[in-house]
Amino acid sequence: MLQRDEPPPVPQPTVANSPNTITPAAPGSAGLASQNSFADVVDRVAPAVVSIHSMRQARAPRQHPFFDDPRFREFFGLPRTPQREAPRVQGLGSGVIVSGEGYVLTNHHVIDGAEEIRVELSDRRVYSAKLVGSDPPSDLAVLKVDERNLPVLTMGDSDRARVGDVVLAIGNPLGLEQTVTAGIISAKGRSTGLSDGSFEDFLQTDAPINQGNSGGALVSASGELIGINSQILSPTGGNIGIGFAIPVNMAKNVMDQLVRNGEVRRGSLGVTIQPLTAQAMSRLGLQNARGALVNSVVSGGAADRAGVQAGDVITAFNGNAIGDPNSLRNAVAGTPPGTEVSLTLWRNGREQQVRLRLGELNTTARAQRGE
C-alpha cells in the first residue's frame, strides 16, 4: 500500500548570503564520511529540518442532501439535525528551511486544507507560517515564516546522486521529535502513481521513513539536501525499507515558480504516450525499449503542428535520451510553456528530428498530464 507520508509576487528566495546557511563539507573531510558515525553531519544539518503543525476542520461524513432538507425530515417525522461545528483536526509533518528569507519546503499533503500552520524548530522556537503556494501534481508546498535568523540547508544536485550513495533521512516520524535514519539510494527515476498528476521522479531509499517524515530532508553524506521525503510503500503502514523522496532539483524548480508567481506552469506537447512493449519494438524495428510510444496526438496541439504522428517513438527531448514515458513527462513538464524544443523521433525505421514550441499543460486534463 502506498501512503503519502494571492498578494503581489513574493521576491524569489536566495539561499546564499545567509549567515546561518549550513554549508556541506568538502569530500573527505574528517568525520563526514566516517564509517563509524554521521554525528558531525547531523549536528550541522538537523537544525534546518522542522516540524510542521497544521490545523483544519474535519470533513463531516457525506449523506444524501435530502437529509439536510428540514421539509423532508418533517414529512417523514425525522428529528431535526443538530447543527454542530465540525471538529478541528491537527496534522503533523516535517519541512526543510531552504532560504535565509524564511522559506520552508514541505509536501502538499502535509498542509492540504490547513487553516493554520505552525513551524517548530528543533530548539523549540515556534513560528506562524504563511502558505506561499502549493502544487498538488508534484506534492510540494512552500511556506514562509517571518524570521531571517534561521538555519538553512544547502541544496545539492540530485541529478548527480547515484544508486548506492549513503543518505540520511531526517524528520519527525509518528509524532516523535526529530529522528535521523541512514541508508542508501536504492533506485532513481521511480514513479508510484500516487501523486496527483504523476509528475514523479522519485529517489528510492531504504533509509527508514515513517508517517510524519513527509516533507523532511533526504541528505547526502556531505550534508547537502538532495530530496524531500514524500511516500512509503508498505502493506502495514510502517517502514519496510522502501521510501521515496522528491529530487531536490524538481523541488527547486517548483519552489521558484511558486515564490515568483504563486503557481506552477508546465509545458505540454499535446500527445498521449505509453511504454514500449516487446511487440511494438519488433513491429517498429527498434533494438531496445527506451523511449515513449505516441498513442495519440491532440488536434491543433504543439506536436500536431510539428507533424508528430501516432505510432512515432520519442527517443530524445532536447538532445537528452528518453528512457520511458515518465522521463518524457517530467522533462516536458519541467520546461516552460512557449519554449522551442527539439524531439528525436523513430518513424518508418529511421530517426527524424522535429522542432516545436511547447503549449501549456491544463492540469485539469488528466488524460494529457505532463505529455
Over residues 188-201, the pLDDT tens digits come to 988 776 654 457 78
Mean pLDDT confidence for 109-113: 92
Distance CA 124, CA 52 (A): 12
The answer, yes or no, to whether residue 36 has pLDDT greater than 60, is yes
Measured over the CA atoms of residue 194, residue 195, residue 199 and residue 205, the dihedral's sign is: negative
Name the least confident of 62-66, 156-160, 312-316: 62-66
% of the chain with per-residue pLDDT over 70 = 78
Which residue matches cell numbers 513491429?
283
220-228: average pLDDT: 95
Determine which one of 109, 191, 195, 312 is catalytic.
Answer: 109
18, 54, 198, 214: the catalytic one is 214
What is the predicted pLDDT for the residue at 287?
84
94 is catalytic: no
Is the Cβ–Cβ distance between 269 and 301 less than 8 Å?
yes
Is the pLDDT score of 78 beyond 70? Answer: no
**Domains in the chain, ordered, with CATH?**
1-264 (2.40.10.120), 267-368 (2.30.42.10)
Q: What is the pLDDT of residue 85?
A: 54
Active site residue 29: no
Distance spanning both ends of the chain, measured CA to CA: 27
Catalytic residue among 54, 108, 135, 139: 139
Residue 95 has pLDDT above 70, yes or no: yes
Q: How confident is the model at residue 233 (pLDDT cuts 50, 70, 90)?
A: confident
Question: What mean pLDDT value characterizes the chain?
Answer: 82
What is the pTM for the complete model shown? 0.75
Is 93 in contact with 215 (CB distance < 8 Å)? yes
**Annotation marks residue 64 as catalytic:** no
DSSP 214: T
Locate 214 and state its grid cell.
513527509
Model pLDDT, residue 92: 85
Residues 6 or more apart in contact with residue 64 via CB below 8 angstroms: none
User: Is pLDDT at 230 greater than 60 in this prediction?
Assistant: yes
Say what the pLDDT of residue 326 is: 87
Task: State pLDDT tens for residues 55-77.
Answer: 875 544 444 444 455 665 565 55
pLDDT digits (tens, 9 = 90+) for 323-371: 888 889 889 998 999 999 999 999 998 999 999 999 998 854 333 333 4
> For 20-34, 65-79, 128-142, 247-261, which range has the lowest pLDDT when averaged over its residues?
20-34
| Distance (Å) of CA 233 to CA 192, 204, 238, 257, 321 | 9, 10, 9, 29, 29
Q: What percent of the chain has pLDDT over 90?
A: 54
